[in-house]
Amino acid sequence: MIKVINVVGARPNFMKIAPIQREMSKYSNIKPVLVHTGQHYDKRMSKFFFNDLQLPEPDIYLGVGSGTHAEQTAKIMTHFEKILNEEKPDLVLVVGDVNSTAACSLVAAKMNTKIAHVEAGLRSFDRTMPEEINRLVTDVLSDLLFVTEKSGLENLKREGIADHKVHFVGHVMIDSLIYFKPKADQSAILGELNLTPGEYGVITLHRPSNVDNKQNFEKLLNAFAQIEQRLPLIFPIHPRSQKMIDQFGLREKVEKMSNLRLLDPLGYLDFMKLLHNAKLVLTDSGGIQEETTFLGIPCITMRENTERPITVEIGTNVLVGTDTQRIVLEAEKILDGNAKKGQIPELWDGHAAERIVKIISESL
Ligand code: UD1
């Protein structure tokens, strides 16, 4: 029997672990144990995703909550060390690039427990981005590295990671997108918000470089203020950004935009329905660059770089940074009918979790 601890902590982890948990439960020789660190704890950032994604209740909940990077990482480590001592798993599987990913990898490595990293090898080459540090740390410690796009293979090779550890398997987040598409189609969110398919834009914004910096945040809001004159904008807002709007005194500026609607964070199915029917998406998220590429929806990414270059090379994604005019010009291009057409990346076919779990069952 192979005992695997599957780690989740923050919102973008849940849709990645769901297909892996589901696939593992089909194997009689694998026992998955789901550990939730509690990095995200609000119902809208966590519980609702468990429901939508049909994830079982976590077997173990660490309840670490928010804090500075060091505080949060240290708390996860201390709690997770105890769990490893009790559970003695054969493998710790981590996904993505959040603090929970790096913290649990570090603990497992020190306790000589094998580590699998799903979504390995992505690099923005920007070490001011906390996730880049998490990606580097996790990959160097991992025994099995599962890669979503070819750039990941090149990055890991250049960093000297042995070839036999690395597997190009596609993308578990796209597994979830495909698996839950019929359910997402049934979401009533468009009716509830009085939206017509193809006649609105979606905004998501939460990177510290964008929302923890008043000047950058304002530049982005200035762009939204111009775009909303031509297209209604729906903005389900991350708690970090919500907090910063008040801290920077930007609430009035946001409320002045009559065609921009702030919403609480949405659940997975509602958000997928909203994305799928959008005219365009403005984001600084990593995962949404990929989801829009898969769905063929034009994506304007308000960042200077991306660790997911395939979405720009062959997908619908365009990087625009935080310059107001660049953002507006790109949105106008789409509204004038000149959106970039994209293709779906290799192996983003709904079967990544099957490949991953097969490799795990054969290599442990
Ligand atoms: C984290 C990840 C980021 C990911 C994002 C998705 C790291 C370093 N960052 O960023 O990669 O893209 O999640 O959402 O791991 N808060 C709440 N309720 C919650 C969680 C957070 O109100 O359930 C607020 C708190 O004020 C907290 C702040 O949001 O201080 C930031 O949360 P944190 O988990 O530190 O980082 P995120 O910005 O969510």
- Residue-wise pLDDT for 61-109, tens only, equals 999 999 999 999 999 999 999 999 999 999 999 999 999 999 999 999 9
How far apart (Å, rounded) are the C-alpha atoms in residues 328 and 228? 10
Which residue in the list 206, 238, 276, 351 is annotated as catalytic? 206
Ligand 1: nearest atom to the Cα of 72: 35
Q: Which of 45, 240, 268 to mutate to test the pocket of ligand 1 (most atoms within 8 A of CB)?
A: 240
Ligand 1 center–CA 64 separation, angstroms: 12
Summarize pLDDT for 108-146 with one digit per residue, the tens. 999 999 999 999 999 999 999 999 999 999 999 999 999
Can you tell me the mean pLDDT for 322-342? 97
pLDDT at 96 (0 to 100): 98
Q: How confident is the model at residue 351 (pLDDT cuts 50, 70, 90)?
A: very high
Q: Is residue 79 among the annotated active site residues?
A: no
pLDDT at 50 (0 to 100): 98
Answer for the pair 96, 12: CB distance below 8 angstroms, yes or no.
yes
Whose Cα sits closest to atom 28 in ligand 1?
240
pLDDT at 171 (0 to 100): 98
3-class SS of residue 262: strand
351 burial level (CB within 10 Å; 0-12, 13-18, 19+): middle
Q: How confident is the model at residue 238 (pLDDT cuts 50, 70, 90)?
A: very high
Closest CA to 260 of 232, 293, 294: 232
